Amino acid sequence: MVARPSHRDPCRANDPSSPSKEMKSGWLRRVRASSGRSDRVSRTDARIAAAGVLFALILSTSCGSSSTSGVGSPTAVAAGISTTAPIAAAASTSSAATAPTTAAPTQAPTTPAPTTPPPPPPTPPPPPAKTVPPATANTCGAPSNPWGYTFCAGSFISAPPSNFCSYFNCIASFWNGRGYVMECGDLTFGKSGGISGSCSGHGGNYRALYAP
C-alpha cells in the first residue's frame, strides 16, 4: 500500500512532518513504479498516490508564499501607512485646537474734536415803519383842531382851552361870554351861546360847536 501524507500543518518551519525533497522523490518513484505494475496495484491506489503528491506540492507552494508575505509586503506597508496617518492627523488637529490664540489688540475709540457751529447770519433790520398820516376827522365843516371839536354832534363847550382862538376866529369879547361856544352869522365864534343877545352885532347865532 502507498503511504498517505500526514494532515498536519506543513507550513511550520520546524515541523518534522513537513514533506522533504526525498519524500517527494520517493512518492514520484512509487507512482512511476505503480504504473508499471498495474496488475498488482489497483487503479484506486494510483489515484490516491497522485492526489497525495499533488497535495504535497500545493502545501509547499502555499507555505513559501505565506512566509514571504508577512514581512515587507505591499499589504503590510499599506496597513502601516493607513493606521499611522490618521493618528498623525489627529495629533496635529489636537495641537492646533489647544494652541492659545492671541487676540488682536483693540484700537481705542477716537473721540472727535468738538466742532463749533458757525454763527447765525445777522438779522436784517426791520424795514422802517410807514408813517400814515392821521385820517382827517369829519368835523362837519368846523376848522381842524387838536381837540376834535365838530359841528356834527356832541356836548356843548362851556370852558374851551386857552389857545382856542389860535384855531378858531373869535370875536373881540369872546372871553367875556358866560355861555357855550357858538358860531355867529358872520362865521366868527363867541362864547355867549344860550344867553339872550348872543352874537348880536355879528349876524346872530348860526350854530353851536360840539366836543366829541
Count other C-beta atoms under 10 Å from residue 209's C-beta: 24
Write out pLDDT tens, residues 126-156. 877 766 555 567 899 999 999 999 999 999 9
Evaluate if residue 75 carries a pLDDT over 50.
no
Q: Are 151 and 167 in contact (CB under 8 A)?
A: no
What pTM was computed for the model?
A: 0.38
- What pLDDT was estimated at residue 91? 46
Q: Which runs of E-coded beta strand occur in 62-137?
A: none
Cα 91 to Cα 44, 77, 80, 95, 101: the distances in Å are 66, 21, 17, 6, 18
103 phi and psi, to 5 degrees?
-70, 145
**What is the reported pLDDT for 107?**
73
